[in-house]
Amino acid sequence: MPQLPLRRIPRTPTLVIRPLIATDVDHILELQELAYAGYYLESADSFTVKIAAGPETCFGAWFEGQLVGYLVAVPLSGDEPLHLNSTDLQSTPMGKAQVLYIHDLAVHPERRKTGLGDVLLVHLYDSANRYGIETYSLVAVQNSTGYWAQRGFEPQGGPPAIGYGPEAVRMSRR
Ligand SMILES: CC(C)(COP(=O)(O)OP(=O)(O)OC[C@H]1O[C@@H](n2cnc3c(N)ncnc32)[C@H](O)[C@@H]1OP(=O)(O)O)[C@@H](O)C(=O)NCCC(=O)NCCS
């Protein structure tokens, strides 16, 4: 039988979304620097504890091996926000959580305006739906209240979130 010639199969770059793991933290720190003003930068330890607390609620978006977006959220029993850069985390198993606290959502500046944040949020909502969790909370910074309002979040009362400064707005969605 004649041999078929080997053909070069064109490689289509694909976006991969998968749960974050501890070894992703260096990539997160690099992207964090591009997405946040210095005042908000958090430590590697602070990401590590949140990824450990939210194996079903933290996701990374990868394009050609580069982290281009991440969402860090943790299940909590109440709606008190975490302190900025906190490593002291009282998380709750998904089965017992009342609230999903969206701690951080960031997209690489060159990958914005394609709705990648929404893609990551849908992964979180799917996870929440599996456990019947219906409440989300967050602290909006860097003038992102409009972004969150478009996604159904409303300003929430309560004491200010610790460490974020006066421009931060606590928001929630039910
Ligand atoms: C917030 C962020 C993740 C959104 O990135 P994205 O998923 O690429 O979002 P897009 O640029 O596709 O925008 C989606 C929609 O939200 C709107 N939007 C984006 N940022 C906004 C803002 N700060 N305020 C109001 N609306 C905003 C866009 O206009 C767009 O609206 P449209 O669908 O009607 O056109 C990105 O801007 C980011 O990484 N910011 C820096 C980190 C940050 O501040 N995160 C929020 C902290 S709480």
In total, the chain counts a number of residues equal to 174
Strands (E) in the chain, as ranges, are: 15-19, 58-63, 66-76, 99-107, 135-140, 154-155, 169-173
Residues whose beta carbon lies within 6 Å of some atom of ligand 1: 35-36, 105-107, 112-118, 138, 140-144, 146-147, 150
Tell me which residue has its CA closest to atom 14 in ligand 1: 115
- List pLDDT tens digits, range 30-89: 999 999 988 899 999 999 999 999 999 999 999 999 999 999 999 999 888 889 999 998
Percent residues over pLDDT 90 in the chain? 79
For 133-146, what is the mean pLDDT? Answer: 96
Query: How deeply is 31 buried, as exposed, middle or buried, from its count of CB atoms within 10 A (0-12, 13-18, 19+)?
Result: buried
Q: Residue of the nearest CA to atom 48 in ligand 1?
A: 140
User: Which of 43, 80, 75, 42 is closest to 57 using CA atoms?
Assistant: 75
**What is the CATH class of 15-173?**
alpha beta
